[in-house]
């Protein structure tokens, strides 16, 4: 292939490759690195593959699977309070895709799957590859891929389909939640939550203190328990600047100190109430939120 043809062909597929790698890894920076490595390998090819989309998808998927199999990745994903990296804007994704396919709730569900289940679910259900194509991409039989897909769907189906709300309702619940949190009103917070609500707060592997409140080392379950923990955090941080931004396709609160993001609060809405609260406060993984401008 001529250099210009090589570049043009790759750039057509780059956005989808980044989206795939981000969902696989839950980390946009690592996803971009993997896609860039795929670009370098692509440049070294002697001839054009029959299907550039399949070839590049296979290359990126394998690199993601290798990454997820590393000791570092296994150690990171073993933390019960680990959250995927939040992203204010996903490059070149259409609005309909953002709302459903990069929500924090969906990415958290993906983390609970094995790497192979994650790959099959994403390739088939999100990126529209057929069963035979998925088998070829992963070097597995079509029957094996169907089994992996069935297991993955069982793990995520109930929760994925129960979470979600129109953006207006999501924003309304977020504002009500933030108002009750600032007041430290445990009862008011609890009324906004489902009975089985879950709070996950990720301050990184070492944990951080956010405005005087220690990071939670593990998820908190139950409306009253979650409300109590949120009230403790909400009574602090009066000096922080707060903005309602769209993060991972949904309304979220971003808190800033000296123009830099300190933490992000994201919600998952379930049947008109808040089913999950995600607080991302790992300072090393907030770079894709962006500074306050």
Per-residue confidence (pLDDT) for residue 162, from 0 to 100 = 66
Q: How far apart are CA 238 and CA 261, in angstroms?
A: 15
In the chain, the largest separation of any two C-alpha atoms, in whole Å, equals 66
Domains of the chain, start order: 3-162 (1.20.140.160), 167-285 (3.10.450.50)
3-state DSSP call for residue 59?
helix
34 contacts 67 by C-beta, under 8 angstroms: yes
Q: Which helix (H) or strand (E) holds 230?
A: helix 223-234
How far apart are the two ends of the chain, measured CA to CA in Å? 43
3-state DSSP call for residue 269?
strand
Please give the average pLDDT of every successive group of 10 residues along the chain, which has 293 residues: 72 93 94 95 82 93 93 79 84 51 89 94 93 93 95 84 81 94 92 95 72 72 95 73 90 91 92 93 88 78
Q: How far apart are CA 40 and CA 45, in angstroms?
A: 9
145 contacts 135 by C-beta, under 8 angstroms: yes
The model's pLDDT over 192-209, given as tens digits with 9 standing for 90+, comes to 999 999 999 998 776 666
Q: How far apart are CA 15 and CA 183, in angstroms?
A: 42
Per-residue confidence (pLDDT) for residue 100, from 0 to 100 = 58
Per-residue confidence (pLDDT) for residue 91, from 0 to 100 = 46
Percent of the chain with pLDDT over 90: 58
Alpha helix positions (H), 26-85: 28-43, 52-68, 71-77
Nearest to 233 by CA among 191, 186, 291, 269: 186
Task: Return the DSSP state at 274.
Answer: E
């Amino acid at each position: 292939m001529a250099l210009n043809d090589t570049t043009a062909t790759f750039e057509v597929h780059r956005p989808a490759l980044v989206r795939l790698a981000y969902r696989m890894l839950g980390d946009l920076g690592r996803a971009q690195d993997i896609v860039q490595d795929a670009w370098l390998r692509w440049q070294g090819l002697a001839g054009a593959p029959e299907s550039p989309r399949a070839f590049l998808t296979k290359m990126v998927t394998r690199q993601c699977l290798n990454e997820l199999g590393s000791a570092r990745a296994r150690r990171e994903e073993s933390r019960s309070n680990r959250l995927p990296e939040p992203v204010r804007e996903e490059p070149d994704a259409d609005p309909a895709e953002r709302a459903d396919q990069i929500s924090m709730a969906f990415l958290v569900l993906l983390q609970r799957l094995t790497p192979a289940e994650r790959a099959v679910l994403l390739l088939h259900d999100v990126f529209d590859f057929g069963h035979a194509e998925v088998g070829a991409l992963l070097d597995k039989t079509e029957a094996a891929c169907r089994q992996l897909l069935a297991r993955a769907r069982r793990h995520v189906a109930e929760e994925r389909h129960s979470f979600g709300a129109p953006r207006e309702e999501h924003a309304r619940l977020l504002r009500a939640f933030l108002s009750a949190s600032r007041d430290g009103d445990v009862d008011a917070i609890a009324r906004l939550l489902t009975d089985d609500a879950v709070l996950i707060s990720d301050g990184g592997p070492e944990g951080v203190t956010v405005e005087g409140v220690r990071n939670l080392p593990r998820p908190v379950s139950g409306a009253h328990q979650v409300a109590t923990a949120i009230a403790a955090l909400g009574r602090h941080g009066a000096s922080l600047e707060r903005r309602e931004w769209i993060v991972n396709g949904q309304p979220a609160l971003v808190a800033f100190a000296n123009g830099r993001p300190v933490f992000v609060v994201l919600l998952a809405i379930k049947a008109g109430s808040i089913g999950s609260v995600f607080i991302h406060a790992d300072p090393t993984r907030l770079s894709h939120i962006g500074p306050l401008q």
